[in-house]
């Protein structure tokens, strides 16, 4: 426990605070005591998150889950106020030490202790699952070692096992090294996911490291999904049990009750199960349980009155994202959390910091100017995507397609699309606009049959009338994307199966906007963990097709000729040392995000400009990091690229000459509390960057931010529901669709 700082509150609810126990992504954890002497652990939410109504809803779910799961091996909820100015949750204080800290102190655990650990955590998982919950974030830091056994804590991302948000397509939630394969692959999550995480936690306790190694989180996630765990350091007597927990197929894993039954412990000699050094640490943590009187003893026994309002903690840059902590790619809130922190706030544009060169990558670009919304119109369901043509805006959500004019007035009645497919992080968006709006829907093939029929619909943005529909009746699809429009064709990508063809395949269709039929179709095998992404440039006759086989680690690029039935004219390995990083997370694949200056743009450890004729690299950027967003300006002369620098946990931005890749300007923005959902748009002589709902409007010639505005991050996998054009920027807020002027002023 650390002493309270001058910026910490003196009291939370009815509890006086005695010290700080720790801090995380959501806020700080304090030791508190009631007037009657009860000692509690209090999680106090950070001020910048308190105004986020979606976050409050998530925090209410955490409180509810923690209450529901309270048992002998959790920290029972004592009190909570999710509606307070700063929401808080108080649980019983458990004298103990986190498992990860324990391993650092005494090294790997011996087999008898590992068996107690396995049985204790499994007992708690059985209780959690019996309550209808899935914890989803079992990891060493969430296992507290006490004298009476292990305790599972932190229900911040727990959900009901039958929660539709939990099992939403594209949902990933958890911590990279301890994810289950179904979490890593954005598949439905059930109780078996916790068993997999338990297996990974046991490997950490046995070896001091996770079973899938370290490195960039996206690479760790790939190994979780595609590779076998390293169990060489696990004691022989436990190796089969741990291997069973780490089975790739959830159906092959034991249940928590089976794990408990398998660990019938032999009688042990008297003594504690913990190493003496850990016992001493636990006893030190228990010393705070005894109420003490302030010296000297005051005759009146009066305590100083609490302050009338909670002091606001000083701004802390506790940045958390894909570099560690918990990944959230959708479902109930696309978010990624890190357990790293810093007391230094990034410098902001306009501060007293010394003048830097335009090309200095550490040059601060941020601003304190916050834009004012022009209008907000209610939309009943979370918006997954926004596209438009300057005068009309099309929104896509789980139930309907909606049309608005630039002043926020509905242009037509919502078009029911209850089965419309939502965007996914792997292949891109499901709608596009180019004179008309184009979007995908998935419908049952016929009554009483299995499978979904894929339809591409063209809609008049002004009237909402569906001009034409294209359907391939032979294909039963599961996911898809409208990749872009080029030379009178809409390019569609879907994954599924075709009548008469065994196995899953990836299909590319060039749908003619005049004849409403396919110009050509290409098929690619979808074996194991392979994925594909089609990038459609602004001009030319070559498309960029990327194939990622996560099982083998092979990543390739192909140039497809639009004039030759989409056949490949060149085929080669992807450039770069981390080819999957940027491509896997890039939300857009249409023209401005895929081409500039006659080159095709590809993101990996650098920005690569690909010659469409032969696939050679025309130029590459000088900076090495994980790029996740790219867009060109209106005339294609400048390429703007952005990515997360995981070493500094900041957002790095570059403007590159589209001809040779030389840096025109560079700089950095504060990543904030969420590091995911990164996207870029260019319109109205402004570069817009979206990072988990926060938008910066940057001057394209200098990179300095003109204004910022906070929209609502998508609740779907890494999608970026942002569109800019016609002097407006559109995105979702808690109240619905919101517009901000390009100037940032109302």
List residues with catalytic annotation. Answer: 137
What is the spatial distance between Cα 702 and Cα 356, in angstroms, rounded to a whole number? 12
Q: Please state, in angstroms and as integers, the Cα–Cα distance from residue 181 to each residue in 118, 192, 225, 245, 597, following that order.
A: 20, 10, 5, 12, 40
**Are the C-beta atoms of residues 15 and 81 closer than 8 Å to each other?**
no
What is the spatial distance between Cα 706 and Cα 250, in angstroms, rounded to a whole number? 49
Burial (Cβ within 10 Å: 0-12, 13-18, ≥19) of residue 371: buried
**Are the C-beta atoms of residues 369 and 708 closer than 8 Å to each other?**
yes
Secondary structure element (H or E) that encloses residue 284, with its range: helix 276-286
Partners of 284 in beta bridges: none
DSSP state of 140: G
With CA atoms as reference, report the closest residue to 289 among 97, 37, 73, 74. Answer: 37
Phi and psi dihedrals of 724, rounded to 5?
-130, 140
Q: Please state, in angstroms and as integers, the Cα–Cα distance from residue 699 to each residue in 282, 518, 628, 657, 689, following that order.
A: 55, 41, 20, 16, 11
Q: How many CB atoms lie within 10 A of CB 330?
A: 29
The DSSP result for 470-534, as a single string, is EEEEEEEEEEEEEEEEETTEEEEEEEEEETT--S-EEEEEEEETTT-SEEEEEEEE--TTEEEEE
Q: Please state, in angstroms and as integers, the Cα–Cα distance from residue 369 to each residue in 70, 354, 669, 695, following that order.
A: 45, 20, 14, 12
Angle, nearest 10°, between helix axes 111-130 and 192-207?
A: 160
Partners of 466 in beta bridges: 459
With CA atoms as reference, report the closest residue to 174 among 159, 157, 187, 161. Answer: 157
* Dihedral Cα 515, 520, 526, 531, nearest 10 deg: -70
With CA atoms as reference, report the closest residue to 170 among 732, 676, 734. Answer: 676
Q: How many CA atoms lie less than 13 Å away from 702 in the CB half-sphere? A: 11
- SS3 state of residue 176: helix
Q: How many CA atoms lie less than 13 Å away from 19 in the CB half-sphere? A: 10
DSSP state of 8: S
What is the spatial distance between Cα 595 and Cα 726, in angstroms, rounded to a whole number? 22
Q: Which residues contact 264 (CB under 8 A, 6 or more apart)?
A: none
Long-range contacts of 612-621, Cβ-Cβ distance < 8 Å, separation of 24 or more: 612/537, 612/540, 612/541, 612/542, 612/544, 612/559, 613/542, 613/559, 614/559, 614/570, 615/557, 615/559, 615/570, 615/571, 615/572, 617/575, 619/660, 619/661, 620/575, 620/661, 621/654, 621/656, 621/661, 621/663
- SS3 state of residue 410: strand
Secondary structure element (H or E) that encloses residue 607, with its range: strand 607-610
- E-strand ranges in 183-336 read 327-328
What is the spatial distance between Cα 205 and Cα 245, in angstroms, rounded to a whole number? 15
Burial (Cβ within 10 Å: 0-12, 13-18, ≥19) of residue 159: buried
């Amino acid at each position: 426990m650390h002493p309270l700082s001058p910026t910490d509150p003196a009291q939370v609810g009815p509890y006086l605070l005695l010290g700080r126990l720790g801090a995380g992504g959501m806020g700080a954890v304090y030791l508190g005591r009631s007037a009657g002497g009860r000692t509690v652990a209090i999680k106090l939410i950070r001020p910048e998150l308190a105004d986020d109504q979606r976050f409050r809803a998530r925090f209410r779910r955490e409180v509810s889950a923690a209450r529901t799961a309270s048992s002998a091996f959790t920290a029972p909820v004592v009190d909570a106020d999710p509606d307070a100015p700063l929401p808080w949750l108080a649980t019983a204080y458990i004298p103990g030490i986190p498992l990860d800290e324990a391993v650092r102190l005494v090294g790997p655990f011996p087999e008898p202790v590992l068996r107690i650990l396995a049985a204790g955590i499994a007992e708690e998982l059985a209780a959690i699952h019996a309550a209808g919950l899935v914890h989803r974030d079992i990891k060493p830091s969430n296992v507290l070692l006490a004298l009476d056994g292990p305790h599972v804590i932190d229900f911040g991302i727990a959900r009901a096992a039958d929660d539709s948000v939990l099992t939403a397509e594209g949902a990933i939630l958890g911590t990279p090294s301890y994810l289950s394969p179904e979490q890593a692959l954005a598949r439905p999550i059930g109780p078996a996911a916790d068993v997999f995480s338990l297996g990974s936690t046991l490997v950490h306790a046995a070896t001091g490291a996770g079973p899938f190694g370290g490195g960039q989180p996206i690479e760790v996630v790939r190994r979780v999904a595609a590779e076998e765990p390293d169990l060489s350091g696990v004691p022989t007597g436990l190796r089969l049990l741990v291997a069973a927990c780490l089975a790739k197929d959830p159906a092959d894993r034991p249940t928590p009750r089976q794990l408990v039954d398998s660990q019938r412990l032999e009688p042990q000699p008297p003594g504690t199960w913990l190493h003496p050094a850990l016992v001493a640490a636990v006893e030190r943590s228990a010393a705070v349980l005894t109420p003490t009187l302030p010296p000297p003893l005051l005759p009146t026994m009066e305590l100083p009155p609490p302050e009338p309002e909670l002091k606001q903690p000083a701004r802390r840059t506790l940045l958390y994202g894909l570099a560690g902590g918990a990944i959230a790619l959708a479902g109930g809130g696309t978010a990624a959390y890190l357990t790293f922190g810093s007391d230094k706030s990034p410098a902001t544009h306009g501060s007293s910091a010394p003048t830097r060169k335009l090309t200095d990558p550490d040059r601060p670009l941020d601003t304190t100017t916050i834009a004012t919304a022009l209008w907000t119109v209610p939309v009943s369901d979370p918006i997954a995507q926004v596209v438009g043509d300057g005068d009309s805006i099309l929104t896509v959500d789980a139930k309907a397609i909606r049309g608005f004019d630039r002043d926020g007035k509905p242009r037509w009645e919502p078009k029911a699309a209850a089965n419309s497919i939502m965007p996914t992080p792997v292949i891109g968006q499901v709608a596009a606009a180019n004179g008309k709006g184009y979007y995908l829907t998935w419908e049952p093939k016929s009554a009483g049959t299995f499978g979904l029929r894929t339809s591409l619909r063209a809609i008049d943005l002004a009237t909402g009338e569906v001009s034409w529909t294209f359907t391939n009746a032979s294909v039963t699809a599961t996911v898809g994307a409208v990749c872009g429009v080029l030379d009178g064709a809409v390019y569609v990508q879907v994954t599924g199966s075709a009548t008469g063809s065994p196995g899953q395949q990836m299909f590319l269709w060039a749908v003619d906007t005049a004849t409403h039929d396919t110009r050509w179709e290409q098929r690619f095998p979808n074996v194991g963990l392979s994925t594909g992404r089609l990038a459609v440039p602004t001009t030319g006759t070559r498309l960029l097709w990327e194939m990622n086989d996560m099982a083998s680690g092979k990543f390739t690029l192909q140039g497809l000729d639009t004039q030759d039935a989409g056949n490949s004219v060149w085929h080669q390995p992807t450039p770069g040392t981390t080819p999957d990083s940027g491509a896997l997370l890039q939300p857009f694949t249409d023209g401005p995000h895929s081409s500039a200056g006659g080159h095709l743009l590809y993101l990996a450890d650098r920005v690569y400009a690909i010659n469409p004729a032969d696939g050679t690299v025309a130029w590459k950027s000088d900076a090495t990091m994980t790029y996740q967003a790219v867009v060109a300006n209106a005339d294609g002369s400048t390429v703007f690229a952005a990515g997360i620098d995981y070493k500094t946990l900041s957002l790095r931005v570059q403007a590159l000459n589209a001809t040779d890749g030389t840096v025109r300007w560079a700089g950095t923005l504060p990543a904030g509390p969420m590091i995911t959902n990164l996207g870029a748009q260019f319109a109205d002589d402004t570069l817009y960057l979206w990072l988990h709902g926060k938008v910066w409007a940057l001057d394209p010639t200098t990179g300095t931010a003109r204004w910022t505005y906070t929209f609502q991050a998508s609740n779907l996998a890494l999608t970026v529901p942002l569109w800019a054009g016609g002097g407006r920027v559109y995105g979702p807020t808690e109240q619905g669709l919101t517009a901000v002027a390009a100037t940032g002023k109302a």
